[in-house]
Amino acid sequence: MELSKTFDPAGLDDRWYQRWMEERLFESKPDDREPYTIVIPPPNVTGVLHMGHALNNTIQDICIRRARMMGKNACWVPGTDHASISTEAKVVAMLREKGIDKRELSREEFLKYAWEWRDKYGGIILKQIKKLGCSCDWNRTTFTMDDDYYRSVIRVFIDLYNKGYIYRGNKMINWDPKAKTSLSDEEVIKKEVKSKLYFLRYKLESLQGEAGNAQNEPEFITIATVRPETILGDTAICVHPEDERYKNLVGRFAFVPLINRRIPVIADEYVEREFGTGALKVTPAHDMNDYNLGLKHHLEVIDTLNDDGTMSAAAQLYVGQDRFECRKNIVKDLEAQGHLVKAEDYTNQIGFSERTDAVIEPRISMQWWCSMKDMAKPALEAVMSDDIKFYPSKFKTTYRLWMESIRDWCISRQLWWGHRIPAWFTPDGSFAVAETAEEALLLLNQGNGMRSKEQGQDTLHSTLTIQDLKQDEDVLDTWFSSWLWPFEVFKGLSNPGNEEVKYYYPTQTLVTAPEIIFFWVARMIMSGFEYEKEKPFEQVYFTGIVRDKMGRKMSKSLGNSPDLLGMIEKYGADAVRFGILISSPAGNDILFDEKLVEQGRNFNNKIWNVLRLVKGWEVEEDLAKNQKSGSGNQFAIEWFENRLNASTQEINRLFQQFDISPALKEVYSLIWDDFCSWYLEMIKPEFGQPIDDYSYNKTIEFLEQLMKLLHPFMPFITEEVFQQIAERGEDEFIMTSQYADVPEANPMLISDGEKIKEIITAIRDIRNRNGLKQKDKLALYASKGIELGDGMKRIISKLAMLSKIEETEGDVEQSFSFLSGADKFFLESPKALDSTEEKSRLEKDLAYQRGFLESVMKKLGNEKFVSKASPEVIKNERQKAEDAREKIRLMEERLAAIAG
């Protein structure tokens, strides 16, 4: 098969992916091999592929492909999350386009539309993930609302309720007025915004019981607020008990502006005297801290907002107006009636819904809660003891701080799409938690119904019928289903102790983003210990946030988020994977630039040209007889073999530390620099001449090993090259081939190879700077005592275009001098030398070496560095200093000779 001149990924990716699928190479079944399991962070069914998905899934695929080639039974489980809030919003929007109002539908009718939407659009993101080359076991695709999964979620709710972890209570929650549902604290995104701080006067009641003081002049107390619309729900004014300005006002009453509600002035140490005026309006229904103050001081709670963020009848004024429209209007009215003292610019933080980006309203609501403190203990210990390892480890501190102060989890959502809460209510408000209405009826008739955890009183309902029961309208928080993911994808709850969950659980690696460390990672660890009595995974690799080259987070509004599918179409999946990963340090943000994808494409082209070069060589067997005796290409082959072994060991080490981006850089440098730029040039036959079969076979062997190292990162080009460089059986693929054992590298051979590269590079630099052409054959003289073997001399002569290489006991006239390490060389030129040019170069190099020596000595003089660095690192730094001193000495001698 004749190869095209340029590499074209069009069609190649789909062809190989389809072939892998047909051969069922991604599938996994339990056997006697060591398992390596990854469960995908399930993307929302509403989702489409973005940069975060691409980074996350590329890393997972690298891990799974590498494990497969290490002989492990690699299993990557894909799936999607039902995403209650975002999916319901999509369905509502779709219905609106059809002229249908959700409020006009029954729950069953709405869910029919929701399932139709999911069946049509829910698998799009999985198809897009396939375009990246991800080798998931697609037969295992799981959805968080599959029948078995659904039943398991309900059973976990019932189990935790029966254990006393889940309860129902009226508490302050985060309310999303757009989605009309509660949110957990972790679903609220804090943003800094520019607001106004309004200073408002509240008239004080006179000591005689009427507004006014002894002189019949009104008295006022001034408060500061950024939310003037909430004054309609004020039930107190609070001051600090030690604030001298207000001590005489505590116990008196004031009147809420516009509505003249009489409210007390109370004292509490919670108040910050430095903020605003030091006097705080208290609105227990609309602020968490005010709510706590209300509980402590037994204040009335007045909810002035409807669930859609409009003003309720309890507000008395502006009823039906949106909260922000009300804010504008109430400020005008307050000013008109003399209550507004002033307004100042003010910067503060406001909570926004992670899903809808609506401004969150604190609201008191009856919800279902899950107590987390007891479940958090083993989950915290597992991470802090490194039974579960975090990469990078800095996220252990973040995890610990959250787990040690963990709050009860609000798990109910006021939606229809999701896992419906299995609680059944009687007409008088009692309820039972059960899987079915029939089971609930039995519990209630046996006196096992509950009003709430706080009341704790059972109520007997012996005359109830099933028609009397009504199921809770709410569904569970989406994360309440996905926290079961690592074991329920293997039906660990729906079919306890089955062969697969025993084999695959605990999984090995979780790859996720740090922003869901609380939403998902911590909760999976808790549920794993609760239901499988074992951690859910061994390691967690945290990716960073993908930003543009200016450091901005990618978003549709900024227009800086690239079209991933378009890039895959243009450059190929391998190039996109390369571009995403080449600058992706674990846990740190990634600055993405499409030029990195272009670099990946160029890398593909380089590999393709190597394939064309090697396959174009004529091979002659008779030339092999002298290769093993030390002549010909033997040194080049032995050098690269050792370089390959050393690099492979370094790549293995990097993978053990989850330094995946540096591992790619190591492979890239090994292929582009060492193999393409140096090794192939060393052994490449003269134009039109054959190559011996020994050199050819070793080159094919090296190329195959390089493709295996690269395959996890760039699967398509490597499979194509693997198939092209040798005859393969129909069932032989690079992705199922195995890595060979790597022997220890010979450091002396590697060092000799580096010396060759330094010498040739120095000679080429001298040629370029002095206009010496390749036809100008130069002679190289090495100072006496420098050892260059015959193989090394052959390569230097070939690549540097030299007439000879000899030793010398002193300086060589009409020559350029240069250093390789501490070794001094002279390059004799047929052209007259420009001593001024050489002096300038030497002075420049000397300045660099002096600066380098100074930086090394500064590091060695740093007690903090020396105390923390390993002995090997200290030794290396001292050797660097010694080498720099020797180079400086030789340069100074040469400069003195020129001046002499």
pLDDT at residue number 783: 86
| 634 vs 647: CA distance, rounded Å | 20
Query: Torsion angle of alpha carbons 684, 687, 693, 697, nearest 10°?
Result: 40
List CB contacts of 469: < 8 A, sequence separation 6 or more: 424, 425, 426, 437, 440, 441, 444
pLDDT at residue number 455: 42
Alpha-carbon distance values, 855 to 863, 866, 881 (Å): 14, 14, 9
Instruction: Supply φ then ψ for residue 123, to 5 degrees.
Output: -100, 5
Instruction: Supply φ then ψ for residue 40, to 5 degrees.
Output: -70, 140
Q: Which amino acid is at 124?
A: I
Sign of CA dihedral 183, 184, 188, 190: positive
pLDDT at residue number 110: 96
CB-based contact 290:227 (threshold 8 Å):
no
CB-based contact 493:156 (threshold 8 Å):
yes
Which tokens in the block code for residue 394? 């800095």
CA atoms within 13 A on the CB side of 765: 13
Instruction: Supply φ then ψ for residue 317, to 5 degrees.
Output: -120, 160
DSSP 521: I
What is the chain's percent helix, strand, coil content, to nearest 5?
Answer: 45, 20, 35
CA 587 to centroid of chain Cα atoms: 6
> CB count, 10 Å around CB of 822?
15
CB-based contact 413:85 (threshold 8 Å):
yes
What Rg, from alpha-carbon coordinates, does the chain have?
37
pLDDT at residue number 334: 97
Point out the residues of the chain with pLDDT beneath 70.
1, 208-218, 449-462, 555-559, 587, 622-631, 830-835, 897-900
pLDDT at residue number 457: 47
Instruction: Supply φ then ψ for residue 88, to 5 degrees.
Output: -60, -40
CA 140 to centroid of chain Cα atoms: 24
pLDDT at residue number 297: 95
Which tokens in the block code for residue 272? 């910050």
272 exposure class (CB count in 10 Å sphere: 0-12, 13-18, 19+): exposed
Strands (E), 718-870: 778-783, 802-808, 815-820, 823-828
CB-based contact 265:237 (threshold 8 Å):
yes
Alpha-carbon distance values, 24 to 200, 582, 594 (Å): 71, 30, 33
Q: Which amino acid is at 388?
A: I
List CB contacts of 303: < 8 A, sequence separation 6 or more: 233, 285, 286, 312, 314, 363, 364
Name the nearest CA neighbour of 56 among 489, 484, 514, 519. 514
pLDDT at residue number 211: 46
Secondary structure class of 534 (helix, strand, coil)? coil
Name the nearest CA neighbour of 707 among 672, 671, 669. 671
Which tokens in the block code for residue 290? 């005010």
Which tokens in the block code for residue 437? 């209405």
Which tokens in the block code for residue 630? 């030390």
String of DSSP letters for 626-669 = GGGGT-TTHHHHHHHHHHHHHHHHHHHHHHHTT-HHHHHHHHHH
CB-based contact 673:753 (threshold 8 Å):
no
CB-based contact 711:68 (threshold 8 Å):
no
> CB count, 10 Å around CB of 744?
9
String of DSSP letters for 681-750 = HHHPPPTT--EEHHHHHHHHHHHHHHHHHHTTTSHHHHHHHHHHSS---TT--GGG--PPP-PPP-HHHH
| 483 vs 79: CA distance, rounded Å | 14
Secondary structure class of 891 (helix, strand, coil)? helix
| 636 vs 685: CA distance, rounded Å | 13
| 585 vs 576: CA distance, rounded Å | 17
Which tokens in the block code for residue 195? 């607001």
| 753 vs 643: CA distance, rounded Å | 9
Instruction: Supply φ then ψ for residue 350, to 5 degrees.
Output: -130, 145
Which tokens in the block code for residue 298? 């037994």
> CB count, 10 Å around CB of 600?
27
pLDDT at residue number 623: 57
